[in-house]
Structure 1
Amino acid sequence: MTRDPSPRWLRWPTDESRPRFAYGADYNPEQWPREVWREDVRLMREAGVNIVSLAIFSWARIQPTADSWDFDWLDESMDLLHSGGIAVDLATATASPPPWLSTEHPEILPVNELGQTVWPGARQHWRPTSPVFREHALRLTTAMAERYRDHPALAAWHVSNELGCHNVYDYSEDAARAFRDWLRARYGTVEALNTAWGTDFWAQRYGDFEQVLPPRLAASHPNPTQQLDFKRFSSDALKDHLRAERDVLRRITPDVPVTTNFMVMGETKGMHYADWAAEVDFVSNDHYVLPGPQARDELSFSANLTGNLAGGRPWFLMEHSTSAVNWQPVNVAKREGELARDSLLHVAHGADAVCFFQWRQSAAGAEKYHSAMVPHAGPDSEVFRSVARLGARLDELAEVVGSERRPARAAILFDWESWWASEQDSHPTELLRYRQEALDWYSAFLALGVRADVVHKGASLDSYDLVVAPILHVVPQDLGKELTRFVERGGHLVTTYFSGVVDENDHAWLGGYPGALRDLLGIRIEEFAPLLPAESVTLDDGTVGTLWSDRITVTDPGVDVWATYRDGHLAGRPAITRRALGGGSAAYVSTRLGVEGLSVLLGRLLTAAGVASELPEAARGRVELTVRRAGDVDYWFLINRTDEAVDLSELAGERLAQEAGERPETLAPRGVAVVRRTGPTG
């Protein structure tokens, strides 16, 4: 991924150049009478807010009809915010088309795989490939840029909003035409497409690109490479829209940075953010805590991946929640300390901006039960007091602003295409979940108190001693060679079941599994042995596997069998192997061990790779450590993962921005400490 050597950040007012975290929220003044607006600015200043995202869903207000514009309310809001010292991340307002546009041009509406129109009534009811929508969206973007290009409050441009959240896959005729153009550009000839898609299977051979359709509802499983290419195309179509709006903004306001909010979280997988990251001036992300036993581990995993998508540079947390959301089956409020802990965990992974959805909790609409900085209860509430305390603490931590994430010695390799391809239909099991396996490994690192970066495929692995590549399903020849070089140079690679199986066209590597990684690992598998939901296998080290098993044959004398199956039809056969190669190694894990089992295995792998925890022993597993660095100064962020106080008396360094009443040698339950360490201690 090529990056601008001079990355741009928020354009703060020139008379306020001191380092500071950006702190704020989405702001929707159009939902409130004007007499509330001045009170909003007063409360923002009280809470330490210095930036808001404005006009995200305002198209219908700004352009009431095709030929009329109303900027008066937005002018007034921009001026009022600026007078209060609050900068604006101004949206292009193109996220949801107004009723007049979808009424006059129903051809902009998406179509699902069943051929059904996705109607207005919610949001994002537009086709990424619609030329009609593109024309109107760019007209609006141009109008916004020309009107506010010189406004002193304008700190950044916010393209659309959560691109692809509801419309990543469109199967319309517009999409079909654009898909064919994308395929022509990718393959050049229909013969090359036939080869890549394996169309001699099921008589799918094409004579012309015009015969190709998106993978709409079919009588059986659609062509798997067609499905994979449609996923690639769909991400590219949204990226193309991002570029189109961005190019308008850069042409009119070249000195104003442009971003858009990614959604690196949970099972949001349709957008290839590693491919998008180079298209914006700085990376932004939205994240919401997902319920479950790994809730905060998932938050950390997502923030970690976002920080690495940003190339280690500061990034913008565009949205998260002060408390409960509205879209989960049961929406649980955050407990004391969790608002600050969640926010500072993103900061620990490199965020220099912390913002919420939204400023004032809506009184009407689908998100009226979504928490906000000012809740329905008003400023006389614990939520608002917590918001204000966080604002003050971020101000006290201002010296951290601009520092970069300090790389770890271990990494988890994350690959969008393996995520897409490994979970397609007609596979050995439908129960496989790519991101969950990656998250389990991450949780195991956290349980051992060892820092690990989450890096995307294509990132350099040279600085890492240990790399875990879970379910690395899609392995083109070049990637297989790069992983081999990594091991030959002394790196330690770990991969898992269903890895190395297919190439970039989703064609199986022949000769036995794990395909492209077979020789590197020194093993061969003739046939997969997936497990039924109620089945499990026990290994001779006492750990238990689920989901998958493999009938492994060791083919290289340098392979050590670290664990065997104790029971079942594979009893006595290898379950975990490790091949030493030069100063490095390549290990294979053939079953899903879960966090507990992976923690046992990972301890051995870390020891073999010479990687250890930097934390005092008493804090390991209880505290997450993340490090940011500026020059010879390290900022250690210590996040309490438990509901009990943790002793930090063995840890050297100066504690910053300590909460009132906290003892310097103790980390409060659900608390966060930031410790400055200089020189040899860094």
Structure 2
Amino acid sequence: MGITRVPGLLYGGDYNPEQWPEHIWRDDARLMAEAGVNLVTVGVFSWARLEPEPGVYRLDGLARVIDLLWEHGVAVDLATATASPPAWFVRAHPEALPVTADGVRLEFGSRQHYCPSSPVFRAATVALTERLAERFAGHPALAMWHISNEYGDHVTECFCEVSAADFRRWLTDRYGDVETLNHAWGTDFWSQRYGSFAQIAPPRAAPGPGNPTQALDWRRFSSDALLACYQAEKDVLDRVSPGVPVTTNFMSMMKALDYWAWAEREDVVSDDAYPDPADPLAHVTAAMNYDLMRSLGRGRPWLLLEQAPSAVSWRDVNIPKTDEQYRLGSLQTVARGADGVMHFQWRASRAGAEKWHSAMLPHAGTASRGWERTLRMGADLKALAPVAGSRTDAQVAIMLDWDSWWAAEFDQEQHPSNLVKVRELIRAWYGTLWAANIACDFVPAGADLGPYKAVLAPNLYLTTAATAAAIRSYVDGGGTFVSGFFSGLVDEHDHLHDGAYPGAFRDLLGLVADEFWPLAAGERAGLRTDDGEHHTGGVWRDWLDTTTAETIASYTDTRLAGRPAVTRNRFGAGTAWYLSTLPDETGLAALLGRALREAGVEPVGDAPAGVELCRRGEHLFVLNHGTEPVEFTVPDGPAHDLLSGEELGGTILLGPADVRCLTPTPPTTPETAP
């Protein structure tokens, strides 16, 4: 069973019928059916049409659209339309417009022009959502609800007085009294003590560096404030339209919002993904983001809710996708756990900021190459219908903690190096796993690590005592933990752990970092491993002294020559590794590969370089991201390719951008033999 009651894999995109005269709607529905579309997202930016004046709701046009779609076998992901308040709302409530840290109130004329803490905004969204739910909850076309759109894309925080009051309430709930807050924020530094919560403001523009713990709490609050907007609408949908799954679209590995907290409130995790066709390694970053989406849903299938069929409209140069890139990238999402491939948008717009954005039905209509691409994808997804609902098992996890990410990158001029970028570090480590075809989950700090043979933390700057204890217990019980640099240093308040660096991980890693020796941009440090290999490292170095750890690689130049660079420590029944630098691609592959082999981690399978292997249940996806044909040996005997319908065995030839989905061929029995 898939993620909605629509059978098989989902296929479609955003549909904005309000942009078109009504006679076009029937053509759209007919063409959707021809293309194999079975789901469209409707109403995302239609608030001004649905409620043209305060308290006046006009839903009949939307009802006609939904009826028409259903007549043609197309279900709807019905949006609550609350991402873009209409002009009448902001003119009646100008105080609901967002304010920047510099005190500038942003105006109407784009989207997401609202203060997340505004009570009048939340009330208006709840009222509209309730009307939509009351009208359409029982409609047979309703497959899913879609709340707002891309939270945090344009406005992640608001610094107005309404937000300031909401922030003070949030702090009161978190700390209880102002003295507890003063301790948590370290306000004796620079005479920042508060006598009451009423004296506290958001971290607005200030003369110099701000308070890092205040900034960390502000990021937590801002994520929570937007989440409260989402939850207010979801409460309505759960009450009025029970049993219909609810989602809101994430934006891949986005820094601004704690997606672990958000995903707990979603029935279906969905993502908007826009890999750059001009980036030759975009598919690796995309795979990382898709694994995160699967992990946010605790392994459940997720939904690609938006992608571009070809070019987007917002890069400096908007390169189109080739037909091969489009197909390969779309099927990669299914290979990585998606139960549907959706797009922005169905019909290309004639006006507005995204009129040059590609669509499933281009400006040229069915005479276009893009339409042929749309038809082919519909056929591919129909062939892959048996994959729906299947899951992926992983032996390796990467720890990703939003609190730590925020703390590590706040006001980096006050940190040892502003070159420590968490997402980039994760991407480098993840790329090693991708190249080796090692399946990977992401986990939050404090997760159950028991199911994994190895847990990687490319950076975990903020490490609570509870998280450190959980990791220690995991390693003590036989697990393998690999830590990157600048980790284990501060607690949940961004206060340094007692004692020498690396704080919470000192005993686990069996070493002491006497001093940080970060590298300048572009600077490389020489490395020599204990088996004689030479590599280089970038971004960071530590002056390390080992206590119980053994040295796996040492520095070969500068003042750190001969000192440990990569270490391994036996701890209980397990092993803890430490990388005090970011090795080059070859070095990282060698060192992480060694740690994972020792942990007993096995890849999905063997394949030539550039060939991606993903297993979902009994289905093995084989994707050739290279520019040349390659040979691939079908594992475990004959298999059926769902995409081509062929029975395959032995060695097969994979062309550039070729994709196979191999399912074991059942043995022939007298009952099944021809």
Which category of TM-score, normalised to the shorter sequence, fits these structures?
over 0.9
Letter in 2 for 1:340: R
Partner of 2:672: none
Partner of 1:277: 263
- 2:362 is aligned with 1:375: yes
Query: Structure 1 residues 620, 485: closer, same or farther in 2, change over 3 A?
Result: farther
- Which one of the candidate residues 656, 662, 673 is aligned to 1:669? 656
SS in 1 for 2:615: strand
CA-to-aligned-CA distance 1:86-107 (integer Å, 9 cap, x gap): 1011011100000111111101
Partner of 1:288: 274
Query: Structure 1 residues 321, 459: closer, same or farther in 2, change over 3 A?
Result: farther
CA contact (8 A) 2:535 2:584 kept: no
SS in 2 for 1:494: strand
Q: CA deviation at 1:154?
A: 1.2
Partner of 2:586: 596
- Which one of the candidate residues 545, 548, 552 is aligned to 2:544? 552
CA contact (8 A) 2:526 2:555 kept: yes
- 2:11 is aligned with 1:10: no
CA contact (8 A) 2:145 2:246 kept: yes
For 1:412 and 1:671, the matched residues in 2 are separated by 29
Letter in 2 for 1:423: E
1:607-622 equivalence runs, <5 A? 607-616=597-606, 619-622=607-610
- 2:47 is aligned with 1:59: yes
Greater shift in the superposed pair: 577-586 or 171-180: 577-586
CA contact (8 A) 1:564 1:576 kept: yes
- 2:164 is aligned with 1:176: yes
Query: Structure 1 residues 464, 124: closer, same or farther in 2, change over 3 A?
Result: same
SS in 2 for 1:279: coil
For 1:660 and 1:381, the matched residues in 2 are separated by 27
Partner of 2:402: 416
Q: CA deviation at 1:353?
A: 1.8
Partner of 1:654: 639
SS in 2 for 1:539: strand
- Which one of the candidate residues 227, 233, 241 is aligned to 1:253? 241
Partner of 1:640: 624
- Which one of the candidate residues 291, 296, 309 is aligned to 2:296? 309
For 1:113 and 1:257, the matched residues in 2 are separated by 36
CA-to-aligned-CA distance 1:384-436 (integer Å, 9 cap, x gap): 2122111111111111111122x221222111112111111111111211011
For 2:480 and 2:321, the matched residues in 1 are separated by 40
CA-to-aligned-CA distance 1:98-135 (integer Å, 9 cap, x gap): 01111111011000110111111110000110011111
For 2:644 and 2:664, the matched residues in 1 are separated by 19
CA contact (8 A) 2:396 2:454 kept: yes
CA-to-aligned-CA distance 1:286-312 (integer Å, 9 cap, x gap): 111045343111100000010011111
- 2:382 is aligned with 1:392: no
Q: CA deviation at 1:678?
A: 7.8
For 1:408 and 1:145, the matched residues in 2 are separated by 39
Partner of 2:514: 526
For 1:293 and 1:547, the matched residues in 2 are separated by 23
CA contact (8 A) 2:639 2:648 kept: no
Greater shift in the superposed pair: 593-602 or 80-89: 593-602
CA contact (8 A) 1:259 1:280 kept: yes
Partner of 2:331: 344
CA-to-aligned-CA distance 1:584-620 (integer Å, 9 cap, x gap): 110100112243321121222122222233423xx14
CA-to-aligned-CA distance 1:618-675 (integer Å, 9 cap, x gap): x14322222111xxxx111122121222212343341322348998722221222111
Partner of 2:494: 506
CA contact (8 A) 1:90 1:158 kept: yes
Q: CA deviation at 1:679?
A: 10
Would you say how many aligned residue pairs link Structure 1 and Structure 2? Answer: 657
For 1:381 and 1:594, the matched residues in 2 are separated by 44
For 2:341 and 2:446, the matched residues in 1 are separated by 28
Greater shift in the superposed pair: 660-669 or 538-547: 660-669
CA contact (8 A) 1:440 1:594 kept: no
Letter in 1 for 2:425: E
CA contact (8 A) 2:640 2:665 kept: no
CA contact (8 A) 2:630 2:654 kept: yes
SS in 1 for 2:367: coil
For 1:396 and 1:650, the matched residues in 2 are separated by 20
- 2:219 is aligned with 1:235: no
Letter in 2 for 1:584: G
For 2:493 and 2:448, the matched residues in 1 are separated by 23
Letter in 1 for 2:566: I
CA contact (8 A) 2:335 2:615 kept: yes
- TM-score when scaled to structure 2? 0.94
Letter in 1 for 2:367: D
> RMSD in angstroms over aligned alpha carbons?
1.8
Letter in 2 for 1:570: L
SS in 1 for 2:69: helix
1:165-204 equivalence runs, <5 A? 165-204=153-192
Partner of 2:310: 323
For 2:269 and 2:593, the matched residues in 1 are separated by 34
CA contact (8 A) 1:524 1:555 kept: yes
Query: Structure 1 residues 458, 624: closer, same or farther in 2, change over 3 A?
Result: farther
Partner of 1:538: 526
Letter in 2 for 1:638: V
For 1:354 and 1:312, the matched residues in 2 are separated by 18
- Which one of the candidate residues 567, 570, 573 is aligned to 1:577? 567
CA contact (8 A) 1:636 1:677 kept: no
Partner of 2:346: 359
Partner of 1:404: 391
SS in 2 for 1:648: strand
SS in 1 for 2:341: strand
CA contact (8 A) 1:548 1:592 kept: yes
- Which one of the candidate residues 134, 140, 146 is aligned to 1:158? 146
For 1:143 and 1:338, the matched residues in 2 are separated by 42
CA contact (8 A) 2:383 2:643 kept: no
- TM-score when scaled to structure 1? 0.93
CA contact (8 A) 1:225 1:505 kept: yes
Greater shift in the superposed pair: 278-287 or 492-501: 278-287
For 1:671 and 1:459, the matched residues in 2 are separated by 37
Partner of 2:552: 562
CA contact (8 A) 2:642 2:663 kept: no
Gaps of 5+ in 1: 1-6, 13-18
Partner of 1:4: none
Query: Structure 1 residues 350, 543: closer, same or farther in 2, change over 3 A?
Result: same
- Which one of the candidate residues 13, 17, 37 is aligned to 1:49? 37
- 2:83 is aligned with 1:88: no
Partner of 1:3: none
For 2:2 and 2:190, the matched residues in 1 are separated by 51
Greater shift in the superposed pair: 602-611 or 561-570: 602-611
Query: Structure 1 residues 404, 679: closer, same or farther in 2, change over 3 A?
Result: farther
CA contact (8 A) 1:158 1:260 kept: yes
Q: CA deviation at 1:10?
A: 2.0
Query: Structure 1 residues 21, 149: closer, same or farther in 2, change over 3 A?
Result: same
Partner of 1:298: 285
- 2:13 is aligned with 1:25: yes
